[in-house]
């Protein structure tokens, strides 16, 4: 039986991501984009969190470019594209488009497990005090972000 004290002992989305061990790159990116305070806020939030392996799969140089101060706005846009307002557990996901905190929509699918814009949820329902994390196997990009342009600077 879950008690209120157990629930409050779980940290925020950022705390849980730090403690999980496979979101180091995400935590670094959230920090670089000045989103720690936001994702530590009241929420609730549902975060489709790319794993370290997902960030490593980005084209060479993209992650380094995104972490540069001059690309902070683009990084924040990409990260908030992974966040949905409210707490959505995997069992509650339905097929269709959902608005993100960034403002555009992502496409959720329940065929062969839960996926978001084609990225598979590899660990679902990781509870936090201000929402839930679903680990995904790819970084999803808003349609209006061209990461190749970051490499031409």
Tens-place pLDDT, residues 3-27: 343 444 689 999 999 999 999 999 9
Res 151 pLDDT > 90:
no
Res 2 pLDDT > 50:
no
Domains, the chain, with CATH or none: 4-139 (2.30.180.10)
> Among 95, 94, 99, 136, which Cα is nearest to 119's?
136
Contact 95, 110 (CB under 8 A): yes
Tens-place pLDDT, residues 122-142: 999 999 999 999 999 999 999
Contact 29, 66 (CB under 8 A): yes
Instruction: Give the predicted TM-score (pTM) of the model.
Output: 0.91
- Return the pLDDT at 3: 38
Pairing assessment for the beta strands 96-99 and 119-128 based on DSSP bridges: unpaired
- Dihedral sign, Cα of residue 105, residue 111, residue 114, residue 118: negative
Tens-place pLDDT, residues 31-72: 999 999 999 999 899 999 999 999 999 998 999 999 999 999
CA–CA gap between residue 100 and residue 65 (Å, rounded) = 23
Tens-place pLDDT, residues 60-106: 899 999 999 999 999 999 999 999 999 999 999 999 999 999 999 99
């Amino acid at each position: 039986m879950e008690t209120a004290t157990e629930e409050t002992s779980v940290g925020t989305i950022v705390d849980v991501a730090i403690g999980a061990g496979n979101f180091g790159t995400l935590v670094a990116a959230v920090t670089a984009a000045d989103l720690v305070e936001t994702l530590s806020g009241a929420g609730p939030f549902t975060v489709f969190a790319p794993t370290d392996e997902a960030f490593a799969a980005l084209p060479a140089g993209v992650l380094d470019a995104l972490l540069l101060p001059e690309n902070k706005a683009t990084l924040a846009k990409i990260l908030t594209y992974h966040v949905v307002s409210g707490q959505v557990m995997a069992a509650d996901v339905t097929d269709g488009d959902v608005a993100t905190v960034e403002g555009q929509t992502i496409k959720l699918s329940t065929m062969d497990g839960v996926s978001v814009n084609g990225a598979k949820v590899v660990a679902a329902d990781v509870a936090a005090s201000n929402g839930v994390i679903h680990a995904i196997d790819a970084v999803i990009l808003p349609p209006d972000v061209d990461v190749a342009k970051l490499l031409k600077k």
